[in-house]
Amino acid sequence: MSTPRKSTKARLIEAALDLFAERGVTETTTRAVAERAQVNEVTLFRNFGNKYRLLLAVLEDSAVFAKLVHALVEQANSKNNVADFLQEYAQESLRTLNKAPDLVRSIVGESGNYPIENRLALGKGLNEANRYVANYLEDTIAAQGLTSDLTAEQIVNLLNFILIGYFVIESSTEGYNFGEEQDDFLENLVSLFLQGSFAVSEKTSSSLAVTETRIVKLEARQIEDLPAS
Protein backbone atom coordinates (compact mmCIF):
# COMPACT_ATOMS: atom_id res chain seq x y z
CA MET A 1 0.00 0.00 0.00
CA SER A 2 1.40 3.41 -0.97
CA THR A 3 2.30 5.94 1.71
CA PRO A 4 -0.33 8.71 1.97
CA ARG A 5 0.91 12.06 0.65
CA LYS A 6 1.54 14.68 3.31
CA SER A 7 -0.84 17.62 3.46
CA THR A 8 0.18 20.93 1.91
CA LYS A 9 0.55 22.54 5.36
CA ALA A 10 2.73 19.69 6.61
CA ARG A 11 5.01 19.94 3.54
CA LEU A 12 5.35 23.70 3.96
CA ILE A 13 6.22 23.38 7.67
CA GLU A 14 8.77 20.68 6.91
CA ALA A 15 10.32 22.70 4.08
CA ALA A 16 10.43 25.83 6.27
CA LEU A 17 12.15 23.98 9.11
CA ASP A 18 14.78 22.60 6.73
CA LEU A 19 15.47 26.00 5.18
CA PHE A 20 15.45 27.85 8.51
CA ALA A 21 18.06 25.36 9.71
CA GLU A 22 20.15 25.75 6.56
CA ARG A 23 19.97 29.54 6.11
CA GLY A 24 18.43 31.10 9.19
CA VAL A 25 15.05 32.81 9.35
CA THR A 26 16.04 36.14 7.77
CA GLU A 27 17.75 34.64 4.73
CA THR A 28 14.92 32.20 4.02
CA THR A 29 12.36 33.53 1.54
CA THR A 30 8.76 32.41 1.19
CA ARG A 31 9.47 31.63 -2.45
CA ALA A 32 12.27 29.24 -1.46
CA VAL A 33 9.98 27.50 1.05
CA ALA A 34 7.23 27.13 -1.54
CA GLU A 35 9.67 25.70 -4.09
CA ARG A 36 11.07 23.23 -1.52
CA ALA A 37 7.51 22.12 -0.66
CA GLN A 38 6.66 21.94 -4.37
CA VAL A 39 3.72 24.33 -4.14
CA ASN A 40 2.95 27.79 -5.46
CA GLU A 41 4.00 30.74 -3.27
CA VAL A 42 0.37 31.92 -3.30
CA THR A 43 -0.52 28.63 -1.59
CA LEU A 44 1.92 29.44 1.21
CA PHE A 45 0.33 32.86 1.74
CA ARG A 46 -3.13 31.32 1.65
CA ASN A 47 -2.19 28.86 4.41
CA PHE A 48 -0.02 31.05 6.63
CA GLY A 49 -0.26 34.68 5.53
CA ASN A 50 3.45 35.52 5.88
CA LYS A 51 6.83 34.11 6.90
CA TYR A 52 6.42 34.84 10.60
CA ARG A 53 3.11 32.99 10.72
CA LEU A 54 4.90 30.09 9.04
CA LEU A 55 7.66 30.29 11.66
CA LEU A 56 4.99 30.23 14.36
CA ALA A 57 3.60 27.01 12.86
CA VAL A 58 7.10 25.51 12.97
CA LEU A 59 7.55 26.53 16.61
CA GLU A 60 4.14 25.18 17.57
CA ASP A 61 4.83 21.85 15.89
CA SER A 62 5.46 19.72 19.01
CA ALA A 63 7.48 17.20 17.01
CA VAL A 64 10.26 19.76 16.52
CA PHE A 65 11.09 20.00 20.23
CA ALA A 66 10.04 16.44 21.03
CA LYS A 67 12.41 14.85 18.53
CA LEU A 68 15.27 17.06 19.65
CA VAL A 69 14.85 16.47 23.37
CA HIS A 70 14.05 12.75 23.10
CA ALA A 71 17.30 12.23 21.20
CA LEU A 72 19.29 14.14 23.83
CA VAL A 73 17.74 12.31 26.77
CA GLU A 74 18.11 8.88 25.16
CA GLN A 75 21.85 9.47 24.97
CA ALA A 76 22.19 10.98 28.44
CA ASN A 77 19.83 8.59 30.23
CA SER A 78 22.08 5.62 29.44
CA LYS A 79 24.39 6.99 32.15
CA ASN A 80 23.83 5.83 35.71
CA ASN A 81 25.10 8.83 37.66
CA VAL A 82 24.48 12.56 37.66
CA ALA A 83 27.96 13.56 36.48
CA ASP A 84 27.85 11.32 33.42
CA PHE A 85 24.23 12.30 32.69
CA LEU A 86 25.06 16.02 32.71
CA GLN A 87 28.27 15.52 30.73
CA GLU A 88 26.54 13.49 28.02
CA TYR A 89 23.54 15.84 27.89
CA ALA A 90 25.81 18.89 27.52
CA GLN A 91 27.86 17.25 24.75
CA GLU A 92 24.77 16.11 22.83
CA SER A 93 23.18 19.55 23.20
CA LEU A 94 26.16 21.30 21.62
CA ARG A 95 26.34 18.69 18.85
CA THR A 96 22.66 19.29 18.08
CA LEU A 97 23.03 23.08 18.13
CA ASN A 98 25.97 22.79 15.74
CA LYS A 99 23.77 21.00 13.20
CA ALA A 100 21.72 24.17 12.64
CA PRO A 101 23.82 27.17 13.70
CA ASP A 102 22.01 29.66 11.44
CA LEU A 103 18.62 28.68 12.84
CA VAL A 104 19.84 29.04 16.44
CA ARG A 105 21.47 32.40 15.78
CA SER A 106 18.31 33.60 14.02
CA ILE A 107 16.03 32.56 16.86
CA VAL A 108 18.31 34.06 19.52
CA GLY A 109 19.36 37.20 17.69
CA GLU A 110 16.18 38.10 15.82
CA SER A 111 13.48 37.04 18.27
CA GLY A 112 12.96 40.68 19.29
CA ASN A 113 11.54 41.28 15.81
CA TYR A 114 9.06 38.39 16.04
CA PRO A 115 5.38 38.90 16.89
CA ILE A 116 4.48 38.18 20.53
CA GLU A 117 2.77 34.88 19.66
CA ASN A 118 6.01 33.59 18.15
CA ARG A 119 7.95 34.42 21.30
CA LEU A 120 5.25 32.80 23.46
CA ALA A 121 5.40 29.63 21.32
CA LEU A 122 9.19 29.53 21.61
CA GLY A 123 9.00 29.93 25.37
CA LYS A 124 6.38 27.21 25.67
CA GLY A 125 8.44 24.80 23.59
CA LEU A 126 11.59 25.43 25.64
CA ASN A 127 9.66 25.01 28.90
CA GLU A 128 8.29 21.65 27.77
CA ALA A 129 11.75 20.54 26.66
CA ASN A 130 13.28 21.56 29.99
CA ARG A 131 10.62 19.72 31.99
CA TYR A 132 11.15 16.57 29.95
CA VAL A 133 14.91 16.58 30.63
CA ALA A 134 14.38 17.56 34.28
CA ASN A 135 12.19 14.50 34.90
CA TYR A 136 15.02 12.20 33.88
CA LEU A 137 17.60 14.18 35.85
CA GLU A 138 15.38 14.05 38.94
CA ASP A 139 15.25 10.24 38.76
CA THR A 140 19.04 10.07 38.39
CA ILE A 141 19.56 12.39 41.39
CA ALA A 142 17.24 10.30 43.58
CA ALA A 143 18.84 7.02 42.51
CA GLN A 144 22.28 8.32 43.49
CA GLY A 145 21.10 9.59 46.89
CA LEU A 146 21.84 13.24 46.22
CA THR A 147 19.98 16.32 47.41
CA SER A 148 20.02 19.88 46.12
CA ASP A 149 18.66 23.29 47.08
CA LEU A 150 17.76 23.65 43.39
CA THR A 151 15.06 21.68 41.63
CA ALA A 152 16.00 19.48 38.68
CA GLU A 153 14.21 21.94 36.39
CA GLN A 154 16.23 24.88 37.74
CA ILE A 155 19.45 22.93 37.18
CA VAL A 156 18.48 22.12 33.58
CA ASN A 157 17.46 25.75 32.96
CA LEU A 158 20.80 27.08 34.21
CA LEU A 159 22.74 24.49 32.26
CA ASN A 160 20.85 25.26 29.04
CA PHE A 161 21.38 29.02 29.44
CA ILE A 162 25.13 28.48 29.75
CA LEU A 163 25.27 26.03 26.84
CA ILE A 164 23.31 28.32 24.51
CA GLY A 165 25.45 31.31 25.52
CA TYR A 166 28.63 29.31 24.92
CA PHE A 167 27.35 28.14 21.53
CA VAL A 168 26.28 31.62 20.38
CA ILE A 169 29.64 33.17 21.32
CA GLU A 170 31.63 30.31 19.79
CA SER A 171 29.65 30.30 16.53
CA SER A 172 29.32 34.07 16.13
CA THR A 173 32.81 35.37 16.93
CA GLU A 174 36.33 34.94 15.62
CA GLY A 175 39.47 35.08 17.72
CA TYR A 176 37.69 34.90 21.09
CA ASN A 177 39.90 33.03 23.55
CA PHE A 178 37.87 30.51 25.56
CA GLY A 179 41.02 29.38 27.35
CA GLU A 180 40.22 25.69 26.90
CA GLU A 181 38.94 23.12 24.44
CA GLN A 182 35.21 22.34 24.32
CA ASP A 183 35.56 18.97 26.11
CA ASP A 184 37.53 20.63 28.92
CA PHE A 185 34.94 23.41 29.15
CA LEU A 186 32.11 20.89 29.50
CA GLU A 187 34.00 18.87 32.08
CA ASN A 188 34.66 21.99 34.16
CA LEU A 189 31.04 23.09 33.74
CA VAL A 190 29.72 19.77 35.06
CA SER A 191 32.19 19.89 37.96
CA LEU A 192 30.93 23.37 38.83
CA PHE A 193 27.32 22.16 38.83
CA LEU A 194 28.15 19.12 40.94
CA GLN A 195 30.02 21.12 43.56
CA GLY A 196 27.57 24.01 43.66
CA SER A 197 24.24 22.23 43.31
CA PHE A 198 24.39 18.84 44.96
CA ALA A 199 24.95 17.34 48.38
CA VAL A 200 24.75 13.75 49.52
CA SER A 201 21.69 12.68 51.48
CA GLU A 202 21.86 11.87 55.23
CA LYS A 203 22.02 8.15 54.52
CA THR A 204 24.91 8.59 52.11
CA SER A 205 26.59 11.11 54.42
CA SER A 206 26.54 8.72 57.38
CA SER A 207 27.96 5.98 55.19
CA LEU A 208 30.77 8.27 54.07
CA ALA A 209 31.42 9.35 57.67
CA VAL A 210 31.80 5.71 58.79
CA THR A 211 34.20 5.07 55.92
CA GLU A 212 36.29 8.12 56.79
CA THR A 213 36.39 7.10 60.47
CA ARG A 214 37.62 3.64 59.54
CA ILE A 215 40.34 5.15 57.35
CA VAL A 216 41.52 7.45 60.16
CA LYS A 217 41.61 4.56 62.68
CA LEU A 218 43.49 2.38 60.20
CA GLU A 219 46.07 5.09 59.57
CA ALA A 220 46.51 5.65 63.34
CA ARG A 221 46.99 1.91 63.91
CA GLN A 222 49.59 1.76 61.13
CA ILE A 223 51.49 4.67 62.70
CA GLU A 224 51.45 2.93 66.13
CA ASP A 225 52.83 -0.26 64.58
CA LEU A 226 55.84 1.50 63.08
CA PRO A 227 59.21 0.60 64.70
CA ALA A 228 60.73 3.26 66.91
CA SER A 229 63.58 3.85 64.48
| pLDDT tens track for 65-117 | 666 666 666 666 666 688 888 888 888 888 878 877 777 777 777 777 788 99
Q: pLDDT tens digits for 45-64?
A: 999 999 999 988 988 875 55
The CATH number of domain 61-199, selected from 3.10.350.10, 3.40.50.970, 1.10.357.10, 3.30.420.480: 1.10.357.10
The pLDDT of residue 87 is: 86
Percent of the chain having pLDDT more than 90?
A: 16
**More confidently predicted of 37 and 81:** 37
> Interior CA angle at 194 toward 188 and 195, to 5°?
90
Contact criterion met (CB below 8 Å) for 153 and 130: yes
Per-residue confidence (pLDDT) for residue 6, from 0 to 100 = 80
1-60: CATH number: 1.10.10.60
Q: From the CB of residue 55, how many other CB atoms can be counted at a distance below 10 Å? A: 25
Predicted confidence at residue 99, as pLDDT, reads 77
Whole-number mean pLDDT of the chain?
Answer: 78
Residue 66, pLDDT score: 62
How far apart, in whole angstroms, are the C-alpha atoms of residue 135 and residue 66? 14
Which residue has better confidence, 120 or 96? Answer: 120
Question: What is the arithmetic mean of pLDDT over 11-29?
Answer: 88
Would you state the pLDDT for residue 62? 54
Domain boundary assignment for the chain: 1-60, 61-199
In this prediction the pTM is 0.69
| Least confident among 8-17, 162-171, 196-205 | 196-205
pLDDT tens figures, 201-224? 544 444 334 434 444 444 454 445
**Would you say residue 13 has pLDDT above 80?**
yes
> Apex CA 210: angle with CA 209 and CA 215, to 5°?
95
**Per-residue pLDDT for 228 more than 80?**
no
pLDDT score recorded for residue 69: 67
Burial 13-34 (b: 16+ CB within 10 A, else e): bbbbbbbbbeebbeebebebbb
pLDDT at 182 (0 to 100): 86
Angle of CA points 139, 142, 144, to nearest 5°: 110
